[in-house]
Amino acid sequence: MTGCTVAIDGPAAAGKGTISKAVARHFGFAHLDTGLLYRAVGAKVLGGASPEAAARALNPDDLENDALRTPAVAQAASEVAAIPAVRQALLEFQRAFAGRDGGAVLDGRDIGTVICPEADAKLFVTASAVVRAKRRFAELSEKGISVTYEQVLADVEARDARDMGRADAPLRPADDAVEIDTSQMSIEDAIAAAVAVIEAKRGGV
């Protein structure tokens, strides 16, 4: 499966990150969580930088930061992701990663529609807002981050509205993407479903 590009999109906390990492391990592909790019820019903006300047100055080391997983950074990431100049600044970084030798899995919100429209396999991983909020609340609680379930649900719904409603590269399934709804699925079943889709797209090679 040399040179295969897999695009995995979906809303926050749908499971696309976990599925993407597992798929990359299964096939031996490199993996990029593109949401971390926007979180890193958002973190810099919270620190006082301008969004476009932060995006242009981004480097791989900026992605290695546990603070990128906080609710405040998540909100900032969603806000800066709606800025066309920020998206353009990060476009080449993502496309270069997608074209690397040995295959690549990219997950985000516009991979199959904008970043890699010619990807070999496209998935849209989703789940209900309530399920996603419960997952994110549990994740944040395990990390000791103080937040209520109601706040997390409100954040999830607000991010959905921003991501789906923005004028530039809104969150939506690519026309040829296969949708996987993980609301009632175990993570093992969701990963198996994703692997099956990719193998089918590649003819089982």
Binding site per annotation, positions: 10-18
| Angle at 39 (CA atoms; ends 179, 115), nearest 5 degrees | 45
Q: Give the residue ranges of the annotated binding site for ATP.
A: 10-18
Sheet of 104-108, strand order? 30-33, 104-108, 5-9, 121-126, 178-181
Q: Would you say how long the chain is, in residues?
A: 205
Cα Rg, the chain, nearest whole Å: 16
In angstroms, what CA-CA distances link 73 with 31, 124, 200? 22, 24, 37
Cβ within 8 Å of residue 19, ≥6 positions away: 8, 107, 123, 125, 180, 182, 187, 190, 191, 194
Query: Do the beta carbons of residue 151 and residue 72 sit within 8 Å?
Result: no
Question: What secondary structure letter does DSSP report for 177?
Answer: P
H/E segment holding residue 17: helix 16-27
* Token pair for 94: 């993502």
